[in-house]
Homo-oligomer: A and B are copies of this chain.
């Protein structure tokens, strides 16, 4: 019989299929054929095709908006939110409106057009994590913004329009619903038990040892017990911390290590699937929250499961997180 499981954070129920479920080899994945960087605006030498850079990690002596960088941050050329102006909040009947003020930046993660995130060395990943942190620290100073959303889409079916490896950062004047739900759910748990639900989750995952994908001194990577998607994987700092942007140097190293490991396992074990990666963190200036815990959610897009949730409004996961984690844990990278 299949099993219904309830997520202790959001209250969401997920069906985990147990009969006629799927094995790791049963999933189709979108093919990633790298078309090449002939007209790629993210390649070195074409810096002029993008808006002027906000920041970059550069070799000494190289110039702004010229080659010589290893990571480069630019404004999105077609931003979802514009950096200039006031919020101008107003209502039209039932609907609350405000101007689309915010920031929408692109983090170009490597000068190498053909190198994907899962192929990066740990040191290359560190540079990306530093870029995430540095941009977060800079943007949280803008009083108009309430939330920083850092995410990475890999592959067309995951929403990526350019193949050159990159992440995005959106600074929002509101807290998005998905985050708010988590905040409300974890506050409820905290009110009731006096403990962080994510800290409790880490304790249970370590006790049960069923769903762990990788672990080091400072971080743990596991398939959550109430995974919505096949091979969904979360990475959490073991020590309680609400706000990603306060991450320290030793944690950047440990995070890059476990993130690299997890992404390599997913690439190798699942034949290089498309995926979304999102950093879930507390709203700006709520870093002291005892009830919330920042983390990374990685959602592989496996073609024959992608549509069901939109269609049904209900999650059905065709492989148990226990089987998914066992498989990923066993992949040597």
Q: Which residues of A contact B (CB under 8 A)?
A: 1-8, 10-13, 15-18, 20, 78, 80-82, 85, 92-101, 149, 151-153, 156-161, 168, 170, 172-174, 176-180, 197, 200-201, 204, 207-208, 225-226, 276, 278, 280, 299, 301, 304, 306-308, 310-314, 316
Contacts and interface: CB of A to CB of B under 8 A. Distances in A.
Chain multiplicity (copies): 2
B159 A310 contact: yes
A97 B174 contact: no
A94 B161 contact: no
A97 B3 contact: yes
Contact of A94 (B97, B172, B173, B197): B197
Given A20-B78, A313-B149, A6 B159 contact: no
B4 A97 contact: yes
Contacts of A197: 94
A4 B99 contact: yes
Chain A binding surface, main DSSP class: mixed
A308 B153 CA distance: 8
A173 B299 CA distance: 27
B153 A80 contact: no
A7 B158 CA distance: 25
Nearest to A278: B313
B100 A200 contact: no
A301 B207 CA distance: 42
B100 A2 contact: yes
A149 to B, nearest CB: 6
A94 B299 contact: no
Nearest to A155: B307
Nearest to A172: B314
A95 B307 contact: no
A129 B312 CA distance: 17
Given A94-B201, A176-B13, A180-B11, A312 B4 contact: no
A8 B280 CA distance: 25
Contacts of A174: 4, 6, 13
A174 to B, nearest CB: 5
Given A3-B99, A153-B308, A278-B313, 13 more contacts: A1-B100, A3-B97, A4-B174, A5-B96, A15-B80, A18-B100, A94-B204, A159-B312, A178-B314, A276-B310, A276-B311, A280-B313, A299-B310
A158 B309 CA distance: 9
A48 to B, nearest CB: 20
A2 B82 contact: yes
